[in-house]
Amino acid sequence: MARWAVSVVDPAAYVVDDTGFPKDGAASPCVARQYSGTLGKVGNCQIGVSVQMVTDTASLAANWRLFCPASWDEATVTDAAKAAAVRARRTDAGVPEQVRHREKWRLALDMIDQMIGDWGLPKLPVVADSGYEDATAFRLGLAKRGLSYIVEVDGATSAQPHDATPQLPADGRPGRGAYPDKPANLRELAMAAGQQALRTITWRTGTKSTASNPTAAMRSRFLALRVRPANRDIPRTVAGTLPEQWLIVEWPPDANEPTKYWLSNMDTRTPLKTLVRLAKIRWRVEHDYRELKTGLGIDHFEGRSYVGWHRHVTLAVLAQALCTLLRLDPKAPAPA
């Protein structure tokens, strides 16, 4: 199915995201009290992590993993009696032995490895929202795999300006260079660039036209700066230099300061419009989740089997693939 999507959808990026499946009881596989964006709060639910293959006009939720909370992994439980209860719970739900608690960003890397390494899909830019920016290791993992990415981050993320230079110890002692000044944060760097650096970018056409916007153009003001993220886990050169990346900033006309920030390791020659289009392409994921839940019943699974959950999700995605094919067919008699 994913190989079919390469030829039919012709994806421009892989988008990583997750969605919640609210539950009432405690027997469904990997159900727990955890935060769900679907609920907008902590609730009793399952969390499915997905990797979507997307363009501006079509998409497919190609790969899924059911997130296993720590409460479903006896290896994280020190009390022997509680660990035995977790093992029994896993057995009842048919959770495979190899399925253990792994952070969502690690599940995303696992799926991307499977898609590229096992399925033979092309390497494409990876897009993720701020739910994945907390793990610097996620971005480092993507870069280690030779993948470009655009990941939404918080404005408080620390970074050095692109022209900052580390200095060697002044007394001539051996050692790695260090930046003489403390890092700023992304908000401060964007504010220093000022509104004169902003450009108005239209990234796609929407569906709601108005008298002032008859073409329903989706547009806002953006700027792109070269910065050096300064998280302590980011590897430095022998000279102490941090790698340089793009900082993409959205600063709407009616806002006093920027509202969104992204970091990207894409090529220095990448046009701002391309960076913005990819950063904003996550809207397709919201479309997919809405269609899968309201139209195709992906959240209607009432079984209590781990394998059954994945089979149900696969069938729902197959139905979505059919809808996508109909939408892309100019001879289709009616909208899908």
DSSP string, 155-216: TT-EEEETT---B--TT--S---B-SS--EEHHHHHHHH-GGG-EEEEEEE-S---SS-TT-
Residue 57: phi and psi, rounded to 5, are: -115, -15
pLDDT of residue 210: 86
pLDDT at residue number 333 = 57
Task: Label residue 332 by pLDDT band (50, 70, 90).
Answer: low
pLDDT at 174 over 90: no
Counting DSSP H helices and E strands in the chain, the numbers are 8, 12
Ramachandran angles phi, psi of 142, nearest 5°: -65, -45
| Residue 171: C-alpha distances to residues 37, 137, 166, 179 (Å) | 53, 34, 15, 16
Task: Give the model's confidence band at 134: pLDDT under 50 very low, under 70 low, under 90 confident, else very high.
Answer: low
In 230-274, the DSSP E strands lie at: 245-250, 260-264
Q: Which tens digits make up the pLDDT trace of 68-79?
A: 999 999 999 999
Write down the pLDDT at residue 132: 67
> Can you give the pLDDT at residue 168?
81
The residue ranking higher by pLDDT, 330 or 214, is 214
As a whole number of angstroms, the distance between CA 52 and CA 285 comes to 7
Q: Provide the mean pLDDT of the chain.
A: 92
Answer yes or no: is pLDDT of 335 > 90: no
Name the residue ranges covered by the structural domains of the chain: 1-124+287-336, 149-265
Q: What is the pLDDT of residues 75-91, one digit of tens each?
A: 999 999 999 999 999 99
Per-residue model confidence (pLDDT) at position 331: 65
Measuring CA to CA, how many Å separate 196 from each of 19, 67, 228?
38, 44, 22
CA–CA separation, 169 vs 334, rounded Å?
71
Q: What is the pLDDT of residue 73?
A: 97
How much is the average pLDDT of 36-46?
91
Mean pLDDT in residue range 122-132:
90
When pLDDT is averaged across residues 145-167 and rounded to a whole number, the result is: 95
pLDDT in tens, 260-297: 999 999 999 999 999 999 999 998 899 899 999 999 99
pLDDT tens string 217-244: 899 999 999 999 998 889 998 889 999 9
pLDDT value of residue 54: 95
**Residues 62, 65, 66, 67: is their CA dihedral positive or negative?**
negative
Angle at 326 between CA 325 and CA 332, to 5 degrees: 140
Percent of the chain with pLDDT over 70: 96
